[in-house]
Amino acid sequence: MKGRESGMPDEGYWGTFFDPDCIVTKLGCGGSSLGLVEFGCGYGHFTVPAARLAKGPVYALDIEPAMADATREKARRAGLSNVTVEQRDFLADGCGRPDASVDHAMLYNILHVEDPVGLLREVARALAPGGTAGVIHWRSDVETPRGPSLAIRPTPAQCRAWGEQAGLRFVRSEPLSCCSYHFGLVLERPRL
């Protein structure tokens, strides 16, 4: 089940909107040793820098075969052996990871899906206690050259509320001075 307004532009154009190294560092990918799951890997712009930081396996998921192939090739060219890419409908079928099996999840430009709380519940299920989820999304308070329509574009407050409904705890907002079109925040599965 593909998310609303989730089409991808040309890879070169898409890459102009982000500083992936900055984003994955600020949102905590480097703290992952148990495992990291990326929901909607797209072209792999964030997968490769996250995998370079992560100390454990990285599971990159996308519903589009072409996106999964692009990410797989990008990880191969980067010489990364810790990346597993799967073409998967994680909205319908979950992420395929066992309960409490990963310590970081990446939710980058994905929470405009029809059921963001359901997706965040899946994240909470897969995260180990103390595990974190990094969220970025297109801002709605500034003009942006891309992104979903304003009618479905979530705000930081909505993302925080959805995370809390799903059983995650808000940790912090993360200013993304390296990526002015986006906001960032970190959520956590509470420790037992």
Quick: pLDDT tens for 25-67.
999 999 899 999 999 999 999 999 999 999 999 999 999 999 9
Its sign, for the CA torsion 172, 160, 170, 47, is: negative
Domains of the chain: 11-188 (3.40.50.150)
Per the document, the length of the chain is 192
pLDDT at 4: 43
Residue pair 5/149 in contact by the 8 Å Cβ criterion = yes
Radius of gyration from C-alpha coordinates of the chain: 15
List b or e across 157-171, with b for residues whose CB sees 16 or more CB atoms inside 10 angstroms.
eebbebbeebbbeeb
- 89-131 pLDDT per residue, tens: 999 999 999 999 999 999 999 999 999 999 999 999 999 999 9
- Does residue 9 register a pLDDT over 60? no
